[in-house]
Amino acid sequence: MTDTPLTLTHPDKLFIGGDWTNSSGSETIQIVSPSTERHVGSVASATMQDMDRAVAAARQAFDHGPWPRMAGAERAAYLHRIADEMAKRSDDFARAWSLQVGMPFRQSSASAPFMGGYYRYFAGLAEQGFEEVRPSAQGGHAIVVREPVGVVAAIVPWNAPLATLSLKVAAALAAGCTVIAKPSPETPYEALILAECVAAAGLPQGVFSVLTADREVSEHLVRNPLVDKVSFTGSTAAGEHIAAIVSGRSGRITTELGGKSAAIVLDDADVGTVVAGIMPNLVGLCGQQCAAFSRILVPQALKHAVTEALSAAMAQVTVGDPFEDSTQMGPLVAQRQQARVLDYIAKGRAQGAQLVTGGSRPAHLAKGWYIEPTLFTDASNDMIIAREEIFGPVGTIIPYGSEEDAIAIANDSDYGLSGGVFTQDPERAYAMGRRIRTGNFGHNGRVIDFTLPYGGFKHSGVGREGGVEGLHGFTEIKTIFMRTLPAHLQR
């Protein structure tokens, strides 16, 4: 097992507005390896006073500093420098993900080099500018301007900490906002490495802060009236609590929350394609994915074949040390998460679903918060395992009769984040996609692309991240009416 702590320049400090500074308190956040259960490091724990310091620095930088007043192309140059610095730290980012979350290092090291792409993409959008000239029905011209929303609190979860953070930070910085990043206490390392990259890129004072803190201190940040927008990714319960706070003071908010996504297998689907499309989206990250294909809707005629194929694929998954090359699935993030998943498995069995494979800790792993890839069949959509987000590698096969039945089952959920259909007919796939109430939908698999909008319907969140829409989420719209256009907009 490789759980050597990372080497950080300032693991005992907070990054407030460009300066590494001590916490005003004496508490620390302890990092525990989910694969070995051993203590592997600690970081500073911010207090409410520290949060107020960060907000004050961000407010000063936004109201009086150069950042929001720069042209988009000027800010883009800084974002490109951040991406350059991130490229130098790819191995650190990869090791941090594997060390804290248990993501297989072979997978984390393959994805880490691409994380700078978030910053380059939004830099490209910023270079296009934030002004659009339209004709006015009253005569003259209207200049529709997108201006930065202000001070942003970016609060992210532990499952994919760098990707979720970069999706917010890159877009917010490109828009001209100042940002306070608050990582999960389980996974502070990526945010601290990113802070080192931002410092090396030379952003103006006050523009970016990283505060590692517990959840109580995070709520203090959310309640601060000087924060203009909160961008939150995490559980539905936490997100709706935060939304109530922020909306109560007319603050802006974007939330990307939980899911209970349905993979709809149609009668013409190729079983091999079904397995290839579902497996990474069910056991990847040990199932700790908000967009996991956890409900598998199968026509009666294919139920046996799909069940057998998925069961066999799950039984072949190598579970173990994330730093071993052969490992395909690591542990759950924490002991509480392991207990939660085991409790859901027990509820599934108690309600009459048939356990096909998995269901317990792997016998060969005495240490670490591991769980076997688990598959239920003969379930109904009213069972707890089909209604609630498990956040573990647990799939539930639900048989259906007609296509109309499948649509009704897929839509009968409090969530609406993702989903997909498996069919060899693109016409049927598109028609199905238009009828399922989710923010994202795939054909023969799932795609998450930061250059395109991502978010959910219903209790899966409000707003979109990624793409042009994600950039626009960090802006306010102003319309300026002009009889004559200023010189830089005349063509």
Domain 14-257+460-480 adopts which CATH fold?
Answer: Aldehyde Dehydrogenase; Chain A, domain 1 (3.40.605)
What distance in Å separates the CA atoms of residue 227 and residue 430, rounded to the nearest whole number? 41
**pTM beyond 0.85:** yes
**Strand 131-135 versus strand 394-400 pairing type:** unpaired
Model pLDDT, residue 4: 60
Q: Does the structure show a pLDDT above 70 at 145?
A: yes
Residues 6 or more apart from 162 whose CB is under 8 A from it? 93, 96, 97, 112, 115, 190, 194
Query: Would you say the CATH fold of 262-443 matches that of 14-257+460-480?
Result: no
Strand partners, 219: none
pLDDT, one tens digit per residue, over 229-268 is 999 999 999 999 999 999 999 999 999 999 999 999 999 9
Rounded average pLDDT over 344-366? 97
Model pLDDT, residue 5: 61
Model pLDDT, residue 478: 98
Strand partners, 19: 16
Report residue 215's pLDDT band, with 50, 70 and 90 as the boundaries.
confident
Which structure tokens are listed for 26?
């004496």
pLDDT, one tens digit per residue, over 392-446 is 999 999 999 999 999 999 999 999 999 999 999 999 999 999 999 999 999 999 9
Residues 6 or more apart from 72 whose CB is under 8 A from it? 125, 126, 127, 128, 129, 130, 174, 176
Model pLDDT, residue 464: 97
Which structure tokens are listed for 408?
């009704």
What distance in Å separates the CA atoms of residue 209 and residue 206, rounded to the nearest whole number? 7
Query: Domains of the chain: which residue ranges?
Result: 14-257+460-480, 262-443
Please write down the HEC assignment for all residues of 86-146.
Answer: HHHCHHHHHHHHHHHHCCCHHHHHHHHHHCHHHHHHHHHHHHCCCEEEEECCCCCEEEEEE
The letter for the amino acid at 270 is: D
- Asked if 374 and 394 count as a contact pair (C-beta separation under 8 A), the reply is yes
The fourth-level CATH superfamily of domain 262-443 is Aldehyde Dehydrogenase; Chain A, domain 2 (3.40.309.10)
What distance in Å separates the CA atoms of residue 191 and residue 198, rounded to the nearest whole number? 10
- Asked if 204 and 177 count as a contact pair (C-beta separation under 8 A), the reply is no
Within 13 A of 401's CA, how many CA atoms are on the CB side?
3
Within 13 A of 224's CA, how many CA atoms are on the CB side?
26
Model pLDDT, residue 1: 47
Strand partners, 143: 133, 480
Place of tokens 């209790």: 459
Place of tokens 């542990």: 331
What distance in Å separates the CA atoms of residue 59 and residue 69, rounded to the nearest whole number? 14
- Cα separations (Å) of 386 from 295, 377, 398? 6, 11, 9
- Asked if 251 and 230 count as a contact pair (C-beta separation under 8 A), the reply is yes
Q: What is the DSSP string of 145-209?
A: EEEE--EEEEE--SSSHHHHHHHHHHHHHHHT-EEEEE--TT--HHHHHHHHHHHHHTPPTTSEE
Helices 403-411, 426-435: crossing angle, 10 deg rounding: 40
- Neighbour tally for 223: CB within 10 Å: 17
Model pLDDT, residue 6: 74
In three-state secondary structure terms, 350 is helix
Report residue 216's pLDDT band, with 50, 70 and 90 as the boundaries.
confident
- Asked if 65 and 204 count as a contact pair (C-beta separation under 8 A), the reply is yes
Which structure tokens are listed for 134?
């339209």
What distance in Å separates the CA atoms of residue 140 and residue 276, rounded to the nearest whole number? 57
Strand partners, 232: 155, 255
**Which residue numbers are catalytic?**
256, 290
Average pLDDT over the chain, rounded to an integer: 96
